[in-house]
Amino acid sequence: MLPRISCIVSLCTSSFTGMIAAAKPVDSYSSRTAPRVNLGYAKYEGVALSNGVNQFLGMRYAAPPTGSRRFRLPDRPLNETHLVQAHKHGAVCYGVNPSVPTPDLEFSEDCLFIDVYAPKNASLNKDGGLPVMLWIQGGGFVQNINANYNGSGLIEATQGNMIVATFNYRVGPYGFLANHELEEGNLNVGLHDQMAAINWIHEHISKFGGDLERVTLFGTSVGGGSVLLHLLAYGGNSANSSKQWRAGIAESMYLPSVYTVDEMQFHYDHLLTATNCSDLECLRQLPIEQVQAKNTAIPFPGQHEQALFGYGPTIDGGFLPDRPSILLQQGRFVRDKPIILGSSTTEGTVFAPQANTTDDVDQFLTAQLPGLTKEALSRLNDLNSDIPATFPGANVTQAPLYYRAAEMLGDSSFLCPAFQFAAGLQHAGVPVYLYLDRILDPVEVAAGYIVPHTWDT
């Protein structure tokens, strides 16, 4: 039986939500008291907030992934010869169109920035530094959906006893384009961006007062799934993937299907055709505006509907030597990282369509999971025939087939992978704590979502 922590659900739905809610606009002091940090390649000036938090925004953790660096692994950040003001967030990485409306955000291909929030006296800590929380944002590998996450609320909630860092990473074709030209070490560059940020924390966080031996990765949705992918990285055999962090938290974790290069080649072929390019070098030389104009969501081959999250990792023989389920079965992962992971009860309700027929449900599911067979779909429909009768205490407001589609997607893409991972890790002796959030909120229930995706964060 998996280990249980009686307070884990309330921690992730009440305390953690309160930490995030505590983040609020605060005043900054004058530049005379502005904190500064020397990272070797650059000197940054942050902002001292009136709540006792030093805020460093928009620092580079890698070189701009533009021009010849497009579709390539991240490089170390370039040297800066002058003092750089770290007063505002860096640009957010371009996502797949249509993007979520975000009028207050700046988007750019030059987007590999990291933010650090630290108590003003963190560098004076005499116990080897403060623990560090490194946030990996979600967005299904097609968007940076939690860009500019404010870490100061977490610091206030812990009375100044932690450091929080957040960062952007490449998504969509910029982070997960796959073809055989890229097999020479440039697949899954979005995951390598994440690793570059983790390495940056290991190299530099002590300069902000952090303890490089106490780094916890945490994320929600595909950010949580990314935590688990780093557990599997290089089959558990990479010093870079395993020595730079100590523990992980995966909330409402979404672990996308991992395909072969051949299975994901259709994105590359579509982009070539749409941009009138003939090869990868042409795509690298195009102005980013022309590439982004054709960066649209398309269906998987043989499907009629576009997938919600059409991009994702591929088996590359390096970072991902095989599919996560196989790596888990073979025990090819690091085993010294305590992990908290879990899900909300009805993860799929925010994604499901208003289905009118079983065929509508099947078409939606196969658009997201093109490997599903007719036999598997039939079995799934049978298993979920009593939905939504299984939502005790919730006065459901949507049609039954909507909830069936939601339950089938939620189970296959969120809950089952979480349970499978927890069981596999526990079997290998990894300290793992699994939760399922069943706490009902009247607003979410009234909207028909019950306990939806990311409600546990």
Q: Which of 170, 174, 112, 137 shows the shortest CA–CA distance to 20? A: 137
Q: Which of 301, 274, 304 shows the shortest CA–CA distance to 286? A: 274
Residue environment code for 169-192, b if the CB has 16+ CB neighbours within 10 A, otherwise e:
bbbbbbbbbbbeebeeebbbbbbb
Strands 83-85 and 43-45: parallel
In residues, how long is the chain?
Answer: 457
Amino acid (one-letter) located at 15:
S
Contacting residues for 342 by C-beta, under 8 A, at least 6 apart: 8, 9, 12, 250, 251, 252, 253, 418, 434, 435, 436, 437, 456
Among candidate residues 221, 226, 252, 344, the one labeled active-site is 221
User: Angle formed by the axes of helices 400-410 and 374-383, to 10°?
Assistant: 120
* Helix (H) / strand (E) containing 107: strand 107-108
Burial class (CB in 10 A: 0-12, 13-18, 19+), 7: exposed
226 among known catalytic residues: no
Q: Classify residue 194 as left (phi > 0), alpha (psi -120 to 50) or beta.
A: alpha
How far is it, in rounded angstroms, from Cα 173 to Cα 194? 16
Assigned token pair, 22: 């505590």
CA 255 to chain centre: 10
How far is it, in rounded angstroms, from Cα 226 to Cα 194? 9
How far is it, in rounded angstroms, from Cα 249 to Cα 422? 12
Upper half-sphere CA count for residue 389 (Cβ side, 13 Å): 4
Q: Check: CB of residue 212 under 8 Å from CB of residue 241.
A: no
Residues with catalytic function: 221
